[in-house]
Amino acid sequence: MSILQVLDLGLAILVLAVAGWTIAARELFASVVGYVAYGLLLSIVWIRLYAPDVALTEAAIGSGVTGVLLVTTGARLRGAGGVEANRPPGISLRFLAPGLAVLVAAALAAVVLLLPEPPTTLAPEAREGLAATGLGNPVTAVLIAYRSFDTMLEKVVLVLAVVGVWSLAPDRFWGGAPAPLGRARPEGALLFLDQALVPLGILVGIHLFWVGADEPGGAFQAGAILAAMWMIVMISRLTEPPRVGARWLRLALIAGPAVFLAVGLAGPGMAGGFFAYPAGFAKPIILFIEAFMVLSIAVTLPMLVAGPPRRSPEP
């Protein structure tokens, strides 16, 4: 076997082992750490499958932000009185969850292994259409040009998720701020990390947004990194989660899908169809939409992690 095949085999075994450990872990914290580790390993697998955009998204959202969401919520639920944290799941759940997971995995494996040889693909057509859009990255072209309506609806789903999380608050807290993300007394090392890492992270996030038109990157990954930087600053208590009723926050949350929808509705006037971009002017419009998408995603993800408001709006 060639070296590459040995490497692939080793990587696959490692991923399966970490996944198995994550499932078998007894406590929430341990399983979330296993999940983050699994996600980081999976991004290496994506690179082996020649998909750097997916690798970045996996590392950013799949393991980074989701892991933090799970562990932060788990830590908060641990302190809540009414949750029976140590009751093991019932026998039917223990069989149903793994059974369904195995079923989905088997279906995916069957689909991939039974693909016709060579597999039918639209990749050549997608690449041919790139010249008209002016972009160099086919993933961005698919997301914002070929299937733009779909991507806009995904952003609306994010807004709905935030509304859902906020609606968990009792009536007297509506409009107030969520509880602080960090501990009462942050250490000095964390403040030093803020000064050293966060400006760099903001720069990398903006760079990923800008370069996503032609190379791996894009709005979602850039927004996730900016969100991570804001969350670091909130964890070190340098800034607190904003009031849920604040107008700037709400405007920032809807800016992405609103601008996207506005451009789509202006399509009939500009280029003759809903969500059509005028030829030759497509790339600036796409970057314009993506800028607001980055803003929305960077504001939505920390609000999801921060949770429902726990303070009343006016003292």
Partner 1 sequence: MNDVLLVAAGFILLTVAAGLVRVLRGPGDFDRMMAVQLLGAGGIASLLLIASATSVAGVEDVALGLALLAAFASVALVNSAETDGPEPFEGEDG
Site string for partner 1, 17-56 (x = CB under 8 A): xx--x-------xx-xxx-xx--xx-xx--xx-x-x--xx
Asked if 180 contacts 237 with a C-beta cutoff of 8 angstroms, the reply is yes
Beta-carbon contacts of residue 51 (< 8 Å; ≥ 6 apart): none
Residue 263 or 293: the one with the smaller Cβ distance to partner 1 is 293
| Cβ-based nearer residue to partner 1, 74 or 245 | 74
147-177 CB burial, b ≥16 within 10 A, e <16: ebeebbeebeebbeebeebbeebeeebebbb
**Residues whose CB is less than 8 angstroms from the CB of residue 300 and which lie 6 or more positions away in sequence, other chains included:** 158, 159, 161, 162, 223, 227, 253
By CB under 8 A, what part of segment 213-252 binds partner 1? 215-217, 221, 224-225, 228-229, 231-232, 235-236
> Rounded distance, CA 230 to CA 305, Å?
11
Q: Does residue 152 contact residue 290 with C-beta atoms inside 8 Å? A: no
How many C-beta atoms lie closer than 10 Å to residue 198's C-beta?
Answer: 17
33 versus 271: smaller Cβ distance to partner 1 = 33
Task: Tell me the closest approach of the beta carbon of residue 126 to partner 1, in angstroms.
Answer: 17
Quote the CA–CA distance of 143 and 54 in Å, as a whole number: 13
Of 135-194, binders to partner 1 (CB under 8 A) are 168, 170, 179-184, 190, 193
> Residues, the chain, total?
315
Between 35 and 275, CB nearer to partner 1:
35
Stretch that binds partner 1, among 16-24, 149-157, 260-268, 289-297 (CB under 8 A): 16-24
Q: How many CB atoms lie within 10 A of CB 236?
A: 21
In the range 52-91, which residues lie near partner 1 by CB under 8 A? 52, 55-56, 59-60, 63-64, 67-68, 71-72, 74-83
Q: Does 104 bind partner 1 (CB under 8 A)?
A: no
Scanning 14-22, 97-105, 155-163, 283-291 for contacts with partner 1 by CB under 8 A, the matching segment is 14-22
CB of 185 to partner 1, least distance (A): 9
Distance CA 83, CA 134 (A): 54
Residue 145 vs 225, nearer CB to partner 1: 225
Judged by CB, which is closer to partner 1: 62, or 264? 62
The least distance separating partner 1 from the CB of residue 171, rounded to whole angstroms, comes to: 9
Q: C-beta of 36: minimal distance to partner 1 in Å? A: 5
Binding positions for partner 1, 195-214, rule CB under 8 A: 197, 200-201, 204, 207-208, 211
Q: In the bound complex, what is the minimum distance in angstroms from residue 194's beta carbon to partner 1?
A: 9
Cβ–Cβ < 8 Å for 222, 294:
yes
60: left (phi over 0), alpha (psi -120 to 50) or beta: alpha
Out of 7, 103, 160, 270, the only residue in the binding site for partner 1 (CB under 8 A) is: 7
Coil, strand or helix at 41: helix
Is the CB of 74 or the CB of 313 nearer to partner 1?
Answer: 74
Report CA-CA distances (Å) from 113 to 5, 16, 218: 18, 19, 30
220/275 with CB nearer partner 1: 220
Q: Which is nearer to partner 1, 169 or 285 (CB)?
A: 169
Closest distance between partner 1 and the C-beta of residue 293, in Å? 17
